[in-house]
A and B are shown apart, each in its own frame.
Chain A
Amino acid sequence: MAKNKRNAKNAGDAPALGFVGSMRWIWTQLTSMPTALFLLLLLAVAAVPGSIFPQRSANPEVVVQYLEQHPVAGPWLDKFQMFEVYSSVWFSAIYLLLFISLVGCILPRIKKHAKALRTPPPRTPAKMQRLPQYTSLEIIEGESDTPDDDQVIEDTYKILKKRGYRVERRKDATGRSVAAERGYIREIGNILFHVSLLGVLAAAGIGQSFGYGGQRVLVEGETFVNSLVAYDSFTPGSSFSADDLPGYSVKLDKFDIVFDRESKDYFGQPIDFTAHVQVRKDADSQPVEEELKVNKPLRINGADVYLVGNGYAPVVTVRDGKGNISYSGPLVSVPQDSVYTSLMVLKVPDASPEQLGFQGFLLPTAVIGEDNISRSADPNAINPLLQLNSFYGDLGLDSGNPQNVYVLDTDKMKELNNRNLKAGGISLAAGETYELPNNLGSITFDDLKRYVALDVNYDPGKLPIAIFAGLALLGLIVSMFTPRRRVWVKLINEDGKRKIEYALLARGEDPRLEREAVELQKIFDKAWPLASQEQDLGAVNG
């Protein structure tokens, strides 16, 4: 009522729809196929920036670097969430709208198809000649196997039933006929596909919020006991609680790398990484020896442990000026190249009278080049050598600001050892000790171990995602390759001649419809004596 009044008032304007009407209009627009298509293509375009700009989720440090290198464009790109494209407002908006559109499209289709499944095949059309794949066959009378009318209808019923059609016998003013339809599963497959996509999205979201991810570096001989403090970094999902962490442990016994020693083109390229570990499912159980490899994660109590990196950890001991041991243990170094030339930084805040700092490289197989500079010639530790510079003074750790463990802040430190100084650089082979100048202490290269970098991941959504993805694929195959088609077979009496007319109609794409028509004709030919085929009248054009 109110709507009508308003309409009358603004006769010249677009018709006012009112709130409900507007909502309905928006809903209709959103769930229409062109909108869905548009959103789909928009989604493809929106995904692209994530492959161009570094993403915080994958490489946070590269993003920081990018922002430093692009002081003008960087912050703007950041404002538009170009460094977190896949959790950005605009990307989320597109896919949420797309999925709403999908739901709005699928719900009516489910309703419609549920009805179709309960509805008999449609009425036999009066003028079948107009349909594609129309054929008319005359029954030869008087043969021994000439069927009567009942027989024709009954045979047709059986033939079509056998070919997977849902069949209905009909009798009306124009005569007797059989109506059939098959391929209802095509639409079921289609719906299954789309619903499964929703399932994948939902499972991914829920799984992520209850899961967690963490990183840990583990040196040979060390044990990782699953608890919050044991991680080097930890990213919990929004609904994750620390009590959910299962108390398993992983001890790294040994880490082996096999390098290619046969090929001259790939000499020294790693061809296998194997971490030999002992796993305890919980504090009480016996350790079980297992192998962890790149494509073979450990699966423990629902959590998965992956091998994502490795390197050398030289074991060093540092004594301070007073002769006390102020550091002793393995030091994780970061490989810089294919021969494992590894960057190492050691901060010794407990040394006195002065704090000590070291930085330099580990060379697994040190050789001296023509320029008198040592470099590594092989990734294996054949002749390991530490080449270090040393510093003394204030490490800057007391300020409370978090520091990168791989960077030595030398602002408040003085150089002690350096190739350019009189004292020279420190060069330590395994087992050797170097006395620092000015009686500030000593450093010993005790041993060389390997370490592995582990990613620990728990995502309860993994299994549901896999199931939904499988269902989506199944639904897709069914909806693509099962044809939905209708067949009508009509028995007519014309000028005293009995004829069988039949026609096929495809619902949706069906490139094999014609083949089915030919196939049916063959079967009919076998079943009854038939003559004079009149096929596709008018198809011969001009």
Chain B
Amino acid sequence: MGSNAGALEPINETLGMYSQLFMLLAAMAYVVVFVFFALDLAKSNKTIAEMDAAALKEDEKLLVGAGVGSVSKMGRGRRGEEVRPDRVSEDIVSDKMNYTKLSANRPMARIAVALMWLAMLLHGFAVVSRAFAAHRVPWGNMYEFMTTGALVVSVVYLVVLFFKDLRFVGSFISGLVTLMLCSATIGFPTPVGHLVPALQSPWIVIHVSIAVAASALFAISFAMNVLQLIQHARMKRIATGQQDKLPFMRLVPGAGALENFAYRINTISFVMWTFTVIAGAIWAEAAWGRYWGWDPKEVWSFVIWVVYAGYLHARATGGWTGPRSAWLSIIGFLCVVFNFTIVNIFFNGLHSYAGV
């Protein structure tokens, strides 16, 4: 860093305008993505129902032929995987969340993913051009946190899609990204500008980027945990012979698979959050003379850390797995959102300059 800030490069206002324009275009594109993911849920659900009906007939034939009596609807596989009552969706959505032969059979989802790439590229241009316009990292204020954070969510999701079939959270993710872009553009419109002196530190690159990445992962595991709870409740209903009220959940893996996947993500994001807090403390020491001063932002970062630590311990404790630990993860994410929004806007603290 140059010692003389008089040498700060001037802001490129024109590029900044283009950035804002592309941000709007990206938001619109994500809306379309959301619609296609929603259409996919509706359509695939119908297809699966038809296939299920066909398979059921075949099953009955087979069962009669084999002379097997009643088959329990719920059970546990040898590896502890749930055997699900809606057996056809097993072929479409595997509990390991891998792509299967039948998973290609979702045209709406394929269109949604292709469009999401387009939206992400527009979004990426908007974020990167803003960085170039300001000659610095694009996360110096609330608008920039939100737009860059949304980009991270989008990119992480699209990359994970290469390896795992997570299209069942597509509507959640595209909805979340749209929401983030809209609230950034409407709630915190901020023209591109220089960083205030308090933020001029190499630590902004490390501390904030890891915080944003960790939050993006927390968001994904939150989605998984919510679906886990819904799936859990649904399975319970079905097991007691009640009607399946949420048939679109056939597209979603079993509760156990969701729980395990969310846990894996949470271990990574917990480590990243720990690093965020440590890096933040080091920066705080350089700027304010102490690692930790219980500033509202610090308090809530601590609360988040403790809640997720509780979640990890709960998973290791008998009787606290399943829905209970899922709730802890959900509360943890709500704290992340709270820290990101309410604390930034309404709580007066040393982090306030980063607010609005």
Contacts and interface: CB of A to CB of B under 8 A. Distances in A.
Interface of A: 33-34, 36-37, 40-41, 43-44, 47-48, 50-52, 55, 57-58, 85-86, 132, 204, 213, 258, 260, 262-263, 265-266, 269-274, 291, 293-297, 304, 306, 308, 455, 457, 459, 462, 465-466, 469-470, 472-473, 476-477, 480-481, 508-509, 511, 536, 538-539, 541-542
A55 B271 CA distance: 29
Contacts of B303: 44, 47-48
Contact of A480 (B80, B271, B278, B291): B271
A260 B194 contact: yes
Nearest to B339: A51
A85 B293 CA distance: 12
A295 B310 contact: no
Q: Is the interface of A mostly helix, strand, loop or mixed?
A: mixed
Interface stretch (B35-43, B161-169, B280-288): B280-288
A465 B197 contact: no
Most buried by A among B263, B306, B307: B306
A263 B191 contact: yes
Contacts of B291: 204, 462, 465
B306 A542 contact: no
Interface in B188-237: 191, 193-198, 200-201, 203
A428 B13 CA distance: 40
B196 A269 contact: yes
Contacts of A86: 294
Given A260-B194, A272-B197, A33 B313 contact: yes
B289 A297 contact: yes
Interface in B165-199: 191, 193-198
B102 to A, nearest CB: 19
Given A47-B303, A293-B197, A466 B282 contact: yes
A51 B350 CA distance: 12
A57 to B, nearest CB: 7
Given A295-B197, A455-B288, A536-B78, 20 more contacts: A37-B314, A41-B307, A51-B300, A51-B347, A132-B80, A258-B5, A270-B197, A273-B197, A274-B4, A294-B200, A295-B201, A297-B286, A304-B289, A457-B290, A465-B291, A470-B278, A473-B275, A511-B260, A539-B77, A541-B78
B264 A511 contact: yes
A40 B308 CA distance: 10
Given A40-B306, A297-B286, A511-B264, A271 B196 contact: yes
Contact of A57 (B278, B285, B294): B294
Interface in B1-58: 3-6, 8, 10-11, 13
B343 interface: yes
Contacts of B264: 511
Contacts of A455: 288-289
Contacts of B287: 294-295, 306
B77 A272 contact: no
Given A40-B309, A306-B287, A457-B289, A272 B299 contact: no
A295 B198 contact: yes
B312 to A, nearest CB: 8
A190 to B, nearest CB: 10
Contacts of B309: 40
A301 to B, nearest CB: 15
Interface stretch (B120-128, B241-249, B315-323): B315-323
A37 B286 contact: no
Given A213-B289, A263-B11, A469-B278, A40 B200 contact: no
A537 B5 CA distance: 70
Contact of A269 (B193, B274, B343): B193
Q: Is the interface of B mostly helix, strand, loop or mixed?
A: helix
Contacts of B292: 204
A541 B296 contact: no
B79 interface: yes
Give 8 nearest A-B pairs by CB, closest first.
Answer: A272-B5, A51-B299, A51-B296, A295-B201, A457-B289, A265-B191, A44-B306, A266-B193
B91 interface: no
Contacts of A57: 293-294
Contacts of B8: 258, 271-272
Contacts of B132: none
A511 B264 CA distance: 8
B194 A34 contact: no
Nearest to B78: A539
A50 B295 CA distance: 8
23 contacts: A33-B317, A37-B313, A41-B328, A44-B310, A48-B299, A51-B294, A51-B347, A57-B294, A204-B291, A258-B5, A263-B11, A266-B191, A271-B195, A272-B8, A295-B197, A295-B283, A297-B289, A469-B278, A470-B278, A509-B267, A542-B72, A542-B75, A542-B83
B99 interface: no
B271 A295 contact: no
Contacts of A43: 306
Given A43-B306, A47-B299, A265 B193 contact: yes
A262 B10 contact: yes
B155 to A, nearest CB: 22
Most buried by A among B78, B288, B292, B316: B78
A57 B293 CA distance: 8
B71 interface: yes
B274 A476 contact: yes
Interface in B66-88: 71-72, 75, 77-80, 83
A260 B71 contact: no
Contacts of B117: none
B197 A37 contact: no
A33 B268 CA distance: 22
B5 A541 contact: no
Contacts of A293: 197
A50 B299 contact: yes
A270 B80 CA distance: 61
Interface in B298-356: 299-300, 302-303, 306-307, 309-310, 313-317, 319-320, 328, 343, 347, 349
Contacts of B201: 295
Interface string B249-271: 00000000000100110011011
Contacts of A47: 299, 302-303, 306
Most buried by A among B77, B299, B314, B328: B299
A108 to B, nearest CB: 15
Contacts of A306: 287-289
A204 B292 CA distance: 10
B43 to A, nearest CB: 30
Contacts of B260: 511
Contacts of B310: 37, 40-41, 44
Contacts of B200: 272, 294-295
A297 B201 CA distance: 12
Given A258-B6, A291-B3, A473 B278 contact: yes
A132 B300 CA distance: 41
Contacts of A85: 294
B332 to A, nearest CB: 9
Nearest to A62: B348
A296 B198 CA distance: 10
A541 B194 contact: no
Contacts of A55: 294
Nearest to B63: A542
A57 B203 CA distance: 25
Contacts of A508: 316
Given A297-B286, A480-B271, A58 B194 contact: no
A481 B267 contact: yes
A538 to B, nearest CB: 6
A462 B274 CA distance: 18
Contacts of A481: 267
A465 B294 CA distance: 16
